[in-house]
Structure 1
Amino acid sequence: MTIAPIVEPKIGQRIAQILFITQSLGSAALIANATVNPIVGSKLGGSDILAGVPGTLLLLGAAIASYPAGILMQRIGRRPGLALGFYLGSFGMAVGGYAIVSGSFLLFLLGLFLIGGARGAVDQSRYAAADANLPENRARAISTVVFAGTVGAVGGPLLVAPLGVLVNSMFGFEALAGPMIGGAVLFGISGLLISGLLRPDPRDIGKVISDALKKDDDAPVAAARELRAIARLHGVQLAALSMLIGQAMMVLVMTVTSLHMKNHDHNLADISLVIMAHTLGMYGLSFLTGTIADRYGRNTVIAVGALVLILGCVVAPLSTDVLPLAIGLFLVGVGWNMCYIGGSSLLADNLAPNERGRYQGAVELTVNVASAAGSLSSGFILAGLGFTVLCVIASVLTCAPLLVLMFRRLKARNIAAFE
């Protein structure tokens, strides 16, 4: 196979590294703000009931923006599309920071909605990494970008206090505005890095790779298929299902774990330890997941990921002690990671370059809606049925990708038996 120098492995690796840096900065900004947003929501809104509204607005913004962002990137390219996403996030955080300083709850919610819209775009960075790499390297490229979440998970909370002190001492602002103002700077820097360094555009690299592969297969370049036709592809269905289920069930369990622990008299140190274990599971093994997906196949990673997620849901409610909860939440994080990276890689494999932006945006929309549904329903399930039943529900629903894989394997064996 002869492919133009534009898609030499070093080019794809460099693109993935740039996206890792920008995602690390963006992730740190988002997690720093997520640490204080419930406090700000409660303070500006005047009631603890409103503490969860900022997170809901962010998820809503991400869900609404995901599909248009995918279409935009397909038309104008990954570089300008991602850069616009980061600039929007910078503006949204500036609005949020001003809202905190001025004491405006509605303006704060507007800022969160804009930040959510930015997230709907920049979360598609992993697809840009996939575009820029050959099929046998795609999962590792995606895992590089996903691993940036580790930097955010560690660095984000550590930024909260210093940024608060900085804006208070320099400008006399409310310390809670620090993460928003600092986040605006980090998102702005990420946008500039994307604009200046993400070259060639990953979308264009993806087209060159696809054209070269089609020439080797001696097949003509086809027009973009309709969304309905793409949605009927078995690989696309499994990819979307694995990401949707993995995300929704992870959020369902994670969202209420801290409250579950608080209800059993754990202190903040215990809760932080369990959440840290969960975050490590989500992002820390990304490189290993990518390597396994490229070597042994996407289906294998998805199946193992679903099993690990189920195992985590079984372990977590066994005891209210810190160790079982930490192990359970760690496994839930690892299972999510494998479903997420395996599903993202499988989706990229099944789409042509002129289809990726649009359909990947549609899948991101469903994943964000599922995430919001998991977040909103978790509190009701915990209050009405308890943590154990919540984990049982998550375990049962996580069986869906496994059932799809088993059904298709049995169907393939039956067809082979009749031939």
Structure 2
Amino acid sequence: MRTLEQQSRKITLTLLAGQSLFSAAMIIAFTIASIIAVELGGSAGWTGVPSTLVVAGAALMAYPIGKFMDSVGRRKGLSVGYILGIAGSLVAGQAVILQSLPLFLAGVFLLGMTKGVLDQGRYAAAEASPEHKRAQAISWVVLGGTAGSILGPSLIQSTSQMAVRMNLPELSGPWFAAALIFGVILVFINLLLRPDPKELARQLAQDKTPTEHEHVSPATNRPYRQILADPRAKIATVALVCGQLAMVVVMTMTPVHMHQHNHGLGAISLVIMGHTLGMFGLSFVTGWLVDRFGRNALIAAGSIILVLACLTAPLNASVVWLAVCLFLLGLGWNFCFVAGSALLSDGLHVEERGRVQGLTDTMINVISGVGSIGGGLIFAATGYLVISWLSILVSVTPLAVVLLLQNRPQPVAIEPVR
């Protein structure tokens, strides 16, 4: 019989593979989504609509799917996401064939809901891991975004050509390929994600002993206000939300800033590649650092790195300078994201993790949308310098909260035997 550690490792690797394919499918689809929206809508004004619908769909789905996972487990919950991904991809691909903008946008919205479900894969990995390896498990799943960013773009041209050979519109091919990928992951996850991460979480919770800094609280279905009384939940939520807001605002404005300084698409792509590397490329190191030095320490470090990135980004418009600054922006986000996700899992009972993590992801998605729109308005009115330095106030907030709350006592749940 496999030990808990072996089962945990298997589940983490399964989720890593699933996340890599999910990321590839989403990148395949959304590399061309804006192009299709403009073609079908007949106006450049439709450019940002697909990304907005993705954020809206993810925000709408994250909380209810979290509650659903609390009831039925992670495997069935994630399966819902893959089914939505199949449906959304097929609808969008058919919309391209029919040249129907409303149908296309409906498919995109379904894929946003897919993202709201599958972003919780990192929490499934955390749930199946002992506390001292929880951040490493999360970081491996986050690393899947890097694999997907390499695999996805490489499939766009070949799937487009395949569609042409089948006498279908060129841009329909990637959507049907995405549907196929979601179908493969659905089968893969249902075969290999066993036992369910929630079952392992219950076994791990039974073995947990409170530390000298923790006091025991009953494992009940607590209201959110009571959950936030735990400083771990407060610090984690602030780290996740503020890290996301600072990253989104500066990242989305940087390409426009570079365009205003006469940089071409090649230069802009290099800077965004540097940013993506910072966000995902070093995740496996981040997880080890979080488990080695502690959640609060890495959240504080991430906050400081975000401040440094926001402070320095507007000081020079050269490609190398901005690439380094955007790398730091991504790295600071990564520290806050991995450490915050691990800390949030630490502070929750097994039976309430899904709904609280889902609500937190809803906040993250909402703040992404608000940050993109609000940041654009501020940027248009004041410029890159002001929007970057305003982001310093957001970036420093996780550090301030860590310093304020880190020494307060932490309640810990002793889970019932099931």
Shorter-chain TM band? over 0.9
1:334-373 CA-to-partner distances (Å, cap 9, x unmatched) read 0010000000000000001011111111111111111111
Structure 1 residue 30, shift from structure 2 partner: 0.9
Secondary structure at the counterpart of residue 194 of structure 1: helix
Q: CA distance change for structure 1 residues 175 and 256 in 2, over 3 Å: closer, same or farther? A: farther
1:177-223 CA-to-partner distances (Å, cap 9, x unmatched) read 22211111111111111111100000111011112225999979622
Report how many residues are paired: 407
Distance 1:346 1:411 in 2: 15
Check if 1:29 corresponds to 2:39.
no
Partner of 1:395: 392
Secondary structure at the counterpart of residue 337 of structure 1: helix
Larger CA deviation: 185-194 vs 378-387 = 378-387
Q: Residue 7 of structure 1 contacts residue 208 of structure 1 at CA under 8 Å; is this kept in 2?
A: no
Q: CA distance change for structure 1 residues 410 and 232 in 2, over 3 Å: closer, same or farther? A: closer
Q: How does 1:122-141 map to 2 (within 5 A)?
A: 122-141=118-137
Distance 2:317 2:151 in 1: 28
Distance 1:222 1:349 in 2: 13
Distance 1:91 1:98 in 2: 11
Distance 2:372 2:82 in 1: 25
Match of 2:207 among 212, 219, 223: 212
Uncovered stretches (5+) of structure 2, i.e. residues with no partner: 410-418
Partner of 1:415: none
Partner of 1:143: 139
Partner of 1:105: 101
Structure 1 residue 409, shift from structure 2 partner: 5.5
Q: Residue 4 of structure 2 contacts residue 200 of structure 2 at CA under 8 Å; is this kept in 1?
A: no
Q: CA distance change for structure 1 residues 315 and 193 in 2, over 3 Å: closer, same or farther? A: same
Q: CA distance change for structure 1 residues 103 and 405 in 2, over 3 Å: closer, same or farther? A: same
Match of 1:363 among 335, 360, 382: 360
Distance 2:102 2:30 in 1: 18
Structure 1 residue 402, shift from structure 2 partner: 1.1
Check if 1:242 corresponds to 2:212.
no
Secondary structure at the counterpart of residue 213 of structure 1: coil
Check if 1:311 corresponds to 2:305.
no
Distance 1:316 1:175 in 2: 39
Distance 1:264 1:307 in 2: 28
Structure 1 residue 165, shift from structure 2 partner: 1.3
Residue type of the alignment partner of 2:369: A
Distance 1:259 1:409 in 2: 39
Partner of 1:417: none
Q: How does 1:53-72 map to 2 (within 5 A)?
A: 53-72=49-68
Distance 2:4 2:86 in 1: 33
Check if 1:374 corresponds to 2:371.
yes
Residue type of the alignment partner of 1:178: G
Q: Residue 246 of structure 1 contacts residue 339 of structure 1 at CA under 8 Å; is this kept in 2?
A: yes
Q: CA distance change for structure 1 residues 200 and 409 in 2, over 3 Å: closer, same or farther? A: closer
Distance 2:307 2:155 in 1: 34
Partner of 1:233: 230
Q: Residue 245 of structure 2 contacts residue 394 of structure 2 at CA under 8 Å; is this kept in 1?
A: no
Q: Residue 7 of structure 1 contacts residue 132 of structure 1 at CA under 8 Å; is this kept in 2?
A: no
Check if 1:13 corresponds to 2:5.
no
1:9-52 CA-to-partner distances (Å, cap 9, x unmatched) read 11111101000001000101112222211111111111101110
Q: Residue 86 of structure 2 contacts residue 182 of structure 2 at CA under 8 Å; is this kept in 1?
A: yes
Distance 2:225 2:87 in 1: 36
Secondary structure at the counterpart of residue 195 of structure 2: coil
Secondary structure at the counterpart of residue 262 of structure 2: coil
Q: How does 1:12-411 map to 2 (within 5 A)?
A: 12-169=8-165, 171-213=166-208, 222-408=219-405
Structure 1 residue 230, shift from structure 2 partner: 0.7
Distance 2:33 2:349 in 1: 39
Secondary structure at the counterpart of residue 29 of structure 1: helix
1:291-322 CA-to-partner distances (Å, cap 9, x unmatched) read 01101100001000111111111222111110
Q: CA distance change for structure 1 residues 90 and 337 in 2, over 3 Å: closer, same or farther? A: same
Residue type of the alignment partner of 2:196: D
Partner of 2:414: none
Q: Residue 235 of structure 2 contacts residue 405 of structure 2 at CA under 8 Å; is this kept in 1?
A: no
Q: CA distance change for structure 1 residues 6 and 227 in 2, over 3 Å: closer, same or farther? A: farther
Q: Residue 147 of structure 1 contacts residue 284 of structure 1 at CA under 8 Å; is this kept in 2?
A: yes
Secondary structure at the counterpart of residue 401 of structure 2: helix
More helix by share: 1
Q: Residue 7 of structure 1 contacts residue 133 of structure 1 at CA under 8 Å; is this kept in 2?
A: no
Residue type of the alignment partner of 2:174: P
Larger CA deviation: 259-268 vs 134-143 = 259-268
Larger CA deviation: 259-268 vs 316-325 = 259-268
Partner of 1:416: none
Structure 1 residue 118, shift from structure 2 partner: 0.9
